[in-house]
Structure 1
Amino acid sequence: MENVHVVENGVKAKEKIDQLMVQGYTKDDIYVIAHEKERTEDLTDGLNVNEVGLKEEGVFDKIANVFRKRGDELRSQFENLGLSETEANHYEEELDKGRVVVIAKK
């Protein structure tokens, strides 16, 4: 089951992660995604949570993502975390606006 939240920035992402942990999620259950790869890496490192990697994407999608535009790659990451294509499109649009998406998945 996915628990998806759109937040404005890293500070709000930290607040949401703290709330999710109170609800019983661990840092291993939480993913943070931003539009720019560098921002995603900075957030996941700073907040000590996951970015979508090989485990979630699988080898084929990881290789395919090398050749995709960033928007396509982000939608693929959302779908690999269990979101529908429609949801993936919606959340990728939120990332286009500079927002951050926090996903908790057990």
Structure 2
Amino acid sequence: MASTNTKSYAKVVENGTLAVQEVQNLRQSGYDNDRIYVLAHDANHTDRIADVSDASTVGLKEEGVIDAVANFFRSRGDELRAKIVSLGFTEAEAAFYEKQLDLGKVLVVAKRDD
């Protein structure tokens, strides 16, 4: 599934290999590495995919200090939804994407210029 909104493009893919391919496709279509993000349910899986694809992970810059600190106290699902919202998606979209991550899928997001 792929969707777009005015701020970001997102695509749910089945695995890390497809996520790396999607990152490469986005890079070829003009997105900068620092505007392409990957998210998986497992934080280590997210980091591995980001390392291989040279994509970004959602961090302090995207979330802001308050949300970044709050994530220490949130469940993984709540943390993922907060990260997805910080990339420009609604709460409903974040809930949908988080459920896909629960199923072992990977979310690739490319932010448009602000």
Moved more, 18-27 or 76-85: 18-27
- Any unmatched runs of 5+ in structure 2? 1-6
1:83 to 84, 89, 107: 89
Q: Which has the higher contact order (CA 8 A, sep 6+)?
A: 1
Q: Deviations over 1:52-97 (max 9, x none)?
A: 0000010000000000000000000000000000000000000000
1:38 aligned to 44, 54, 78, which one? 44
Query: Structure 2 length as normaliser, TM-score?
Result: 0.90
* Percent of aligned pairs sharing the same letter: 47
The residue that corresponds to 1:68 in the other structure is 74
TM-score, normalising length: structure 1: 0.97
Task: Count residues in correspondence.
Answer: 106
CA distance in 2, matches of 1:39, 1:18: 18
Deviating above 4 A after TM superposition, structure 1's stretches of 4 or more consecutive aligned residues are none
Gaps of 5+ in 1: none
More helix as a share of residues: 1
Matched, 1:15 2:21: yes
The residue type equivalent to 1:19 in the other structure is N
> RMSD over aligned Cα, in angstroms?
0.7
